[in-house]
Amino acid sequence: MAAQNNMTKVIHAMFDDDHRLLDAAGDLVAKGVKIRDVYSPFPIHGLDPVIGVKRTRIAIVSFMFGLTGLSLALLGMWYFMIGDWPMNIGGKPSFSLLENLPSFIPVSFEFTVLCAAHGMAITYMIRNKTLPGMPAVNPDPRTTDDKFVMEIADVENPGMSTAEIGEMLKSAGAIEINEKQLA
């Protein structure tokens, strides 16, 4: 039977306005449609809870990278400036990390920020598979410019035909609807 094949069929509904897409997503979810993803050139505020995207854990990652940076900076400075070869700079205390801590604060702060920011950015790119040189996964290059695409997979919406969903999308303001077979 045709409906029983292993191919996943996805519907790509294109919108030209983020607010219309947001309203359409709300409508569709209320009617029981499961939206797989949305491709957009910029973040759409308020969309995540509507389509059921879980809250990002990137803040926790960032905090852990920051702590790593702070510890590495302090460990490094302790080793270079106190442990291995105490250095007398301007007569500041050079035999104890704690007594000379004020001098080390700027470097610790900067290294914390550096590690948190870079770690967060790189983690983000790995998780999204968008490291430089990785193949693009967005369905339509126009979503990097001024269009928005909503992706709905038929396997996630049993009991609804693609035609039915397409009809709902049309009435919700989609300007273009494409169906694609994914392997």
- The one segment of 30-38, 86-94, 120-128, 142-150 that binds another protein by CB under 8 A: 86-94
Cα–chain-centroid distance for residue 154? 24
Tell me which of 32, 106, 132, 141 binds another protein, using CB under 8 A: 106
| Interacting residue with another protein among 75, 105, 121, 136 (CB under 8 A) | 105
Nearer to another protein, 31 or 92 (CB): 92
* Segment interacting with another protein, rule: CB under 8 A, options 2-10, 89-97, 126-134, 155-163: 89-97
63 is an interface residue for another protein by CB under 8 A: yes
Return residues touching another protein (CB under 8 A): 45-46, 59, 63, 90-92, 102-103, 105-106
